[in-house]
Amino acid sequence: MQRKELLTQDIIKSELKRRSVKKLRLLLLQIPIIVISYILLFNIFIMLFDPKTAAKIVFSVACIFVFSAVYIDEMIGSIAGIIKSKNGNFLVEIDWVTGKKPKRSGNGKLNNYRPNTLIFARNGKFFIPEGENNAWSKLYAMDDNSIYHSTDINDDFYIIKIGRKRTAMAYNKKHFELEK
């Protein structure tokens, strides 16, 4: 029988916080690029269309507003993730794998990239984060490809969720045992 590593509440809190902070940093680094893109987009709309046509200007401002709202929602979600993980506000469920989809890289003109994906019976798709996962683990620190290839159909997983949102993290029960 394979040796299992103990998965504690503190480890889960720490991992949730680490991932949320990483996502927030990435979003913050994108702000200058997004602001410059919005300014350029707005100026292009004004140059292409008669500036006296109010409908065109309103349309371009509405586009910028929609893109900004989506971006801000992602930032708020990351900040909420940090706060909820710090407070231990997460849910642990058990689910099993019903399917797997391998990583697909973008090709040519279409960017149809997709990370390695596990499909769970009750929680749907889970995109395995690229790079090192379970870095805290002495036994099972693995990259996304290793997690994908070591997972079999019908494997049971601990599913970690923040609130009722999508799966934040997933731990294979054949490698980890949840602290009681």
Specify whether 77 is located in the same domain as 99: no
Same domain, 75 and 121: no
Query: Does residue 10 form part of some domain?
Result: no
Whether residue 141 is contained in a domain is answered as: yes
Residues 56 and 28 in one domain: yes
Nearest Cα residue to 140 out of 177, 168, 166: 177
Question: Which domain range does residue 62 map to?
Answer: 23-85
pLDDT of residue 1: 63
**Per-residue pLDDT of the chain in tens (180 residues, 90 and over written 9):** 678 888 988 888 888 888 778 877 877 777 777 777 777 776 666 666 665 666 666 676 777 777 777 777 777 777 777 777 677 678 889 999 999 998 887 665 556 677 889 999 999 999 998 888 888 889 898 988 999 999 999 999 999 988 666 778 899 999 999 988
106 and 172, same domain (yes or no): yes
Number of structural domains (the chain) is 2
In a domain, 132, yes or no: yes
* Confidence at residue 13, expressed as pLDDT on a 0 to 100 scale: 85
Nearest to 91 by CA among 163, 19, 158: 163
- Tell me whether residue 172 is exposed, middle or buried, using C-beta atoms within 10 angstroms of its C-beta: 0 to 12, 13 to 18, 19 or more: buried
Please count the other Cβ atoms lying within 10 Å of the Cβ belonging to residue 158: 18
Place of tokens 């480890």: 11
Token pair 């994908």 is at which residue?
Answer: 148
Q: How many angstroms separate the CA atoms of 106 and 23, rounded?
A: 22
Domain check: are 133 and 171 in the same one? yes
Pair (79, 98) in one structural domain: no
